[in-house]
Amino acid sequence: MRPIHIVATALLLVAAFGFATPPKTSPRLTDTVRIVRKTEPAVAAVFSQAEGRLSMGSGSVVHKDGYVLTNDHVVAGMGGVVLLRNHQLPLKYSIIGRMPEKDLCLLKVRASKPLDFMRLGRSNDLMTGEPVLCAGNPGGRGIVYSSGIVSSPNFILSAPNALVMRSFGGDVRDRFIQFDAASNLGNSGGPLINVLGQQIGVVSNKNPEEENINFAIPIDRVRENLNELFSPEVRQGVFTGIDLDPLSQSAMIAQVAKKSPAAKLGLRSGDYLKSVDGKHLESCLDWFAHLLDKKVGDELELSVSQGKKTKEVTLKLSKYPTPPLIEIKHPKPGLLFEVCHGTFEKAPTMEKQKVVKTGVAWALDVLAMGAPKTNGFAIKLEGALKIPNDGVYRLILNSDDGSILRTGKEILVDNDGPHPAQDVGTLLRLKKGFLPIRIDYFEATGDAELNLFIENSVGQRSDAALLFFHENSAQKTH
C-alpha cells in the first residue's frame, strides 16, 4: 500500500509543470474550458487511509469554510487528506456528517484562507441530452475532467427492467442521473457539472458490464439532506426554531417551530435571512456553517426580509429540545404489536383498521407477526426504546416495504411507500431513559423485512430490538 504522502507528493510534482496559456481571444477557449477553469479549484481529490487500505475518491468544496461533499463509501469512516488545486499541501479532513443509506458524507478541512467552492444547481429540470462534465480523481491521478450528456435524468438504479416498472405504481425508490461521460474508480464523490458551472449531481457508481453507463446522485436529493449532513443544532445542542428551504437559492425560511426563539421574534415561513452577525447569507449552507460554531446562550444578530420590509433582530440560542421520555416502573422486553390485513401502498392508520392479531414482539420479525399471511398486511408496534446515555444518536429504519417511526405525534424517520429493503436514518439528540416509540409497517408483495438500528456518536451501530421495552400498565409521561 502506498502511503498518502507519497501519492500527494507525486500529484504536486505533476502540478508544478505549468503550461502556456493561449490568449483570451483564442477559439480554443471554449465554453467547456471556461467551465473547467471556473470549477476546477473546488474539485477535491480525496485520499482515505486505514490499516491495510488506501481509498482514492473525489469530492467538491461546497462552502468556503472548508466543507467538502463526497460519497460515504469513499471515506467509509476513515481519516485522510484532501488535495485542492490552489493549495500546495494536502489538507487533513475531519468527518462532520455521514449518511451511509444515501451514500453521502460531509468533510471539513481547515485552510489559511476561504476556499473556492462549487455552486449547487438544481436537478429537477434536467433534460435528456443535456451536456455535462464529470470531474474527479480517477485512479488517484489528480483532478481530471470528461464530458458527455445526461442519458436519463430520472433512473431507478435497482429496477429489474422497464417492463416490470411500467406496471408497478407508487414506487418511492431513489432516482439517479445516468450519464455517459467517462467515469472510473476514483471518480466516486466528485461533481457532475452543467453548462452553467453548477453542480447537479454527485458521481456515485457505474455499470461495469456496459459501456458509458454511469450514475450520479441528483443534487436536489443532496440538498434535501443537507440539514441531516450538517445537523448544526443537534450537534451543538442549540435551538433556533428555523428550518430553511434547502431547494431555495437563497436563505428562505420554510418553517418556524411554535414557541421557539425565532417564533418569539415574529419570524415566519416565507421570510428571508439576509445576514447573520454581519455575514451575508447566500443559502442554507452559510446558515449551517455559522451555527456549527455556536453554543447555548449565544446571540445571533439577524437581518430578516419580510416582504418589502427588512428588520434587525437578536436571536438568543436556547437549549435543543429533546423528545419527552416516559416512566416504566416494570419494564418488559419487546414491543406490543397489532396486525391488520389489506392492500396497502403506504402505512395505514391502524386505528381505522380491523385488528386480527396482537402480541409481543421481541424481534422485528414481520413474517412471524403477520403469519399466516406473507403479503397484504400491516403492523403497528408500540413501546419504548431504552436510551443508554444522554447524547447524539442516529436511528436507522430499514424496511421492505414501507415503515414510519414516531415518538408521540412526531415522525422521527419516514421510510414509507412500496420499495425493496432500504435504510432511512436521522440524527437525534436524546436523553437517557425510555423514549416512547411507535413503528407502523406494511407489506405489499415480495420480500418482507423490518429493522431498527441505533448508532452512537462514534458510529457504532447495534440492533435496537435489544433496547425494546413495554409495560401493559399506564405509562406516565415526563
Amino acid at 420: P
Same fold, 4-118 and 131-224: yes
326-477 maps to CATH 1.20.58.220:
no
C-alpha cell at 239: 435551538
For the cut 90, the answer to whether the pLDDT of residue 463 exceeds it is: yes
* Residues 6 or more apart in contact with residue 44 via CB below 8 angstroms: 58, 59, 60, 61, 68, 70, 82, 83, 84, 137, 190
Q: CATH: 2.40.50.140, 3.30.200.20, 3.40.190.10, 2.40.10.10. Which one for 131-224? A: 2.40.10.10
Is the model's pLDDT at 91 over the cut of 60?
yes
pLDDT of 4 higher than 60:
no
Sequence-separated (6 or more) residues with CB below 8 Å from residue 233:
239, 240, 291, 320
β-bridge pairing 119-120 and 198-206: parallel
Weakest-pLDDT range from 14-23, 125-134, 327-336, 411-420: 14-23
Task: Look at residues 171, 290, 306, 177 and name the one whose alpha carbon lies nearest to residue 240.
Answer: 290
Amino acid making up residue 193: I
Q: Of 77, 68, 108, which is closest to residue 191 (Cα–Cα)? A: 68
Q: What is the pLDDT of residue 164?
A: 63
Please give the CATH topology (third level) of the domain spanning 4-118. Thrombin, subunit H (2.40.10)
pLDDT given at position 169: 59
Q: Do the Cβ atoms of 68 and 232 come closer than 8 Å?
A: no
β strands within 130-195, DSSP E = 131-136, 144-156, 175-179, 191-193
**Residue 259 to residues 239, 264, 357, 369, Cα–Cα distance (Å):** 11, 6, 41, 41
Per mean pLDDT, which range of 45-54, 143-152, 176-185, 269-278 is the poorest? 45-54
pLDDT at 476: 40
Among 27-31, 223-227, 300-304, the minimum mean pLDDT is found in 27-31
Burial degree of 51 (CB within 10 A; 0-12, 13-18, 19+): exposed
Q: How many CA atoms lie within 13 A of 273 on its CB side?
A: 35
Report which of residues 261 and 88 the model is more confident about.
261
Instruction: Give pLDDT tens digits for 12-26.
Output: 434 444 556 788 888
Query: If you average pLDDT over every residue of the chain, what do you get?
Result: 91
Instruction: Give φ, ψ of 267 to 5 degrees.
Output: -75, 150
Helix H or strand E encompassing 13: helix 4-16
Does the pLDDT value for residue 312 go beyond 80?
A: yes
CA 191 to chain centre: 16
- Check residues 356 and 4 and name the one with the higher pLDDT: 356
Model pLDDT, residue 52: 77
Q: How confident is the model at residue 343 (pLDDT cuts 50, 70, 90)?
A: very high
3-state secondary structure of 336: strand
Per the structure block, which three cell numbers stand in for 376? 397484504
Q: Dump pLDDT digits (tens) for 269-304.
A: 999 999 999 999 999 999 999 999 999 999 999 999
CA distances from 138 to 39, 145, 190 (A): 17, 10, 10
Residue 238 · residue 320 · CB < 8 Å:
yes
Question: What would the DSSP string read from start to end of 37-94?
Answer: HHHGGGEEEEEEEETTEEEEEEEEEEETTTEEEE-HHHHTT-EEEEE-TT-SS-EEEE
How does pLDDT run across 391-446, given as a tens digit for each residue?
A: 999 999 999 999 999 999 999 999 999 989 999 999 999 999 999 999 999 999 88
The pLDDT of residue 449: 96
Q: What is the CA radius of gyration of the chain?
A: 24
Sorted by where each begins, the domain ranges of the chain are 4-118, 131-224, 238-319, 326-477
Q: Give the per-residue pLDDT at 159.
A: 67
Please say whether the beta carbons of 443 and 450 come within 8 A: no
Q: How far apart are the first and last CA of the chain?
A: 55
The CATH superfamily assigned to 238-319 is: PDZ domain (2.30.42.10)
Amino acid symbol at 8: A
Q: Which range (40-44, 70-74, 471-475) has the least confidence?
A: 471-475
d(CA 390, CA 293): 21
Q: Which of 28-32, 122-126, 156-160 has the highest mean pLDDT?
A: 122-126
Contact status, residue 184 vs residue 212, Cβ threshold 8 Å: no
pLDDT band of residue 471 (cuts 50, 70, 90) is: confident
What's the angle, vertex CA 152, arms to CA 149 and CA 157, rounded to 5?
125
pTM surpassing 0.75?
yes
